Amino acid sequence: MSDQQTTIGPSPQSFGALYEQLGASATYQQMMAEVFGEGYAAQLSIAAPADVRMLATRAGVKPGTLVADLCCGLGGPSLLIAKEFECTVVAVDWSRQAVQSCRQSAEAAGLGGALRCVAADVGHAPFADEAFDAVVSIDGFYFGVDLPALYADVYRMLKRGGSFAFYFDVPSQEVVDASPPDRRAHRESHRIDHQAALAAAGFTDAWSEDRTGAQQLLFERMAAAYSRHYTALEAEIGPDLADDLRGEVMQTLNLTASGLWPRFLFSARKPLHP
């Protein structure tokens, strides 16, 4: 779920409160299991396991490598990458609840040694130069980060030859113009040429793939899950939040289907030699 969200404000506290409510809802877990498959419920993005595998592959993740997952949320994708790609993942999120949940899921899955969970704002990431072999992220950069500065910081954190891959929905001008005033400038800042910004940060092979079709299919499944389970969900998390969440899914589905908010998988590589 991306910046389309309106009432779930972008702060560590608001995400933490949301994660507490959703984590306590058996119906929400059931819905996510129906949409994404059993064993992969702990996540809030629109990235199914196949999308996460594609992301890790684009980032060149291999057994034994050290990977940062920026804005990891509840950690479903971080866990999948650590397990299937046999690597170590440093999962970073500014929400204390997200990091806690990530840690608990890793321990429950027997992957405690493969996941390090760090509470931090990715706009001020506390990592050394050339710390990681790869950096990935899914739907985490919508909430106030300065993207060109972030791309430069990811470049700094990567080892030479390392890769960066992330999912990001780029709003059309129509979406920016229709946004509430407090979101407009920020969304406008998402309409940069991301490949050029990655190149300006020093990356090479900057590349993007349109993944809007995959996103639309997932939103259609999410919308169907909300229809099937709405009454039970409302009883567990309250009518206001249930209505907000369903409203976001329907709004995003419409925007995605009309091509107004396309989704991309971006990737780029830090050159081996300066």
Please name which of 89, 158, 171, 123 lies closest in space to residue 10, comparing C-alpha atoms. Answer: 123
Q: Which is nearer to ligand SAM, 114 or 136 (CB)?
A: 136
Residues 6+ apart with CB under 8 A from 92: 68, 69, 70, 71, 72, 117, 118, 119, 120, 122, 125
**Distance between CA atoms of 17 and 21, rounded to whole angstroms?**
6
DSSP-derived secondary structure letter, 139: S
Residue nearer to ligand SAM on the CB measure, 73 or 162? 73
Minimum CB distance to ligand SAM, residue 218 (Å): 12
Nearest to ligand SAM of 56, 72 (CB atom): 72
Instruction: Please report how close the Cβ of residue 232 comes to ligand SAM at its closest, in angstroms.
Output: 23
Nearer to ligand SAM, 45 or 216 (CB): 45
Residues belonging to the chain = 274
CB of 204 to ligand SAM, least distance (A): 25
* In the complex, minimum distance from the CB of residue 144 to ligand SAM, in angstroms, rounded to a whole number: 6
| Minimal distance, residue 136 CB to ligand SAM, in Å | 9
94/127 with CB nearer ligand SAM: 94
Give least dist CB 74 to ligand SAM, A. 6
Contacts to ligand SAM by CB under 6 A? 1, 15, 43-45, 47, 71-73, 76-77, 93-95, 98, 121-123, 138-140, 143, 145
CB of 64 to ligand SAM, least distance (A): 23
What one-letter code names the amino acid at 233? L
Distance of closest approach, residue 49 Cβ to ligand SAM, in angstroms:
11
Output 121 or 188, the one with its CB closest to ligand SAM: 121
Instruction: Indicate the Cα dihedral angle 184, 187, 192, 197, nearest 10°.
Output: 130
Can you read off the two tokens belonging to residue 155?
């470049």
Q: For residue 189, give the amino acid letter.
A: S
Q: Roughly what angle, to the nearest 10 degrees, separates helices 49-58 and 76-84?
A: 60
- Do residues 49 and 76 lie in contact, with contact meaning Cβ atoms separated by under 8 Å? no
Of 108 and 235, which has the nearer Cβ to ligand SAM?
108
| Residue that the structure tokens 């919508």 belong to | 142
Q: What residue number has its CB nearest to ligand SAM? A: 73
Nearer to ligand SAM, 40 or 226 (CB): 40
Cα separation, 274 vs 260, whole angstroms = 38
